Structure 1
Amino acid sequence: MWNEMGRLLERAAVPAAPGAGAWMPMAEEAEEEDAYVVRAELPGVPAENIDIEVEGNELYISGELTEERRGKVLSRRTGSFSYRTTLPSAVDSDRIDADLSDGILTVRVPKSEEAKRRKIEIGKRRQISGETA
């Protein structure tokens, strides 16, 4: 809930009109079995203009899209953009990878071994220093 509230407040503070300066890309977050995935729409933004950083449990995606005006009206967004999300604490931040394809930036954040789902067998007790657990 706190993540959603933070995103709503950020969207309210960022102008959404094309060419209005700072903007926030449309993005989705998903959880897979072994990783968290963030996909952001960044059409026309070259990879060298995108910065991806992790600080603590915060993932930051930022950059800039510049374009020459060729006609009377520019209908695409330009200027600086940013997107921020809070990651769960049980991630392997050293193995994060990113890919930009067809205007979609995909950031894959692997789960740590502790965070991965595992099946627990019912009725399997183990011995702990002479006692049954």
Structure 2
Amino acid sequence: MFKHLLPRLRERSIAAKRPVSLADMMEEFWREPFASLAPVFRDGGYPAVDVSETEGVVTVRAELPGLEPADVSISVENDALILRGEKKFEGEEKKDDYHRIERAYGSFSRLIPLPGKVKEAEAKARFDKGVLTVTLPRDAAEAARNIPIEGA
């Protein structure tokens, strides 16, 4: 019974340029099962970073393959490190017919909360083999302090 409706539903979906039936949504899911999760992964952040702290120095490592130091800007604002940049398309090849491009291009911005105040003037950044390493010394004057608890 449902089988004879599928071609007509499919035609309506194509005309509307969106799924209009459950069958269309199921077909889209099986074609790209994780497409609906893309915003979740995108909000997870690009670039991927590691943040660590040892001996009063905060270190942030960010993976930026295919970029050059000139493509990235770094700033510290409101106890957060902000990475901004742009990955440009490497050049169009007229002789190749692309059927799918999975590498991402475009601008990005990532705000990385820092575990406390840092000395911005003493911050250093190094770019090596697609990994950006930013070292930020902690501000000792703003270090966490213990608060004694009084008994009753």
Taking structure 2 as the reference length, what is the TM-score of the superposition?
0.57
Whether the 8 Å CA contact 1:33–1:116 is kept in 2: the answer is no
SS across alignment from 1:63: strand
1:86-119 deviations in Å (ceiling 9; x for gaps): 12333212111111100000111111234679xx
The one-letter code of the counterpart of 1:14 is R
Equivalent residue pairs, number: 101
Q: Which structure: greater helix fraction?
A: 2
SS across alignment from 2:103: coil
- What stretches of structure 1 of length at least 5 have no aligned partner? 1-10, 17-22, 118-133
SS across alignment from 2:101: coil
2:102 is the alignment partner of 1:80: no
SS across alignment from 2:55: coil
Q: Which structure: greater strand fraction?
A: 1
Matches of 1:69 and 1:105 in 2, distance apart?
Answer: 27
1:1-133 matches, cutoff 5 A:
12=40, 14=42, 24-67=46-89, 68-70=91-93, 71=96, 72=98, 73-114=100-141
SS across alignment from 1:14: helix
Matches of 1:12 and 1:61 in 2, distance apart?
Answer: 20
Matches of 1:55 and 1:45 in 2, distance apart?
Answer: 23
Question: What fraction of aligned residue pairs are identical, expressed as a percent?
Answer: 30
Taking structure 1 as the reference length, what is the TM-score of the superposition?
0.64
- What stretches of structure 2 of length at least 5 have no aligned partner? 1-38, 145-152
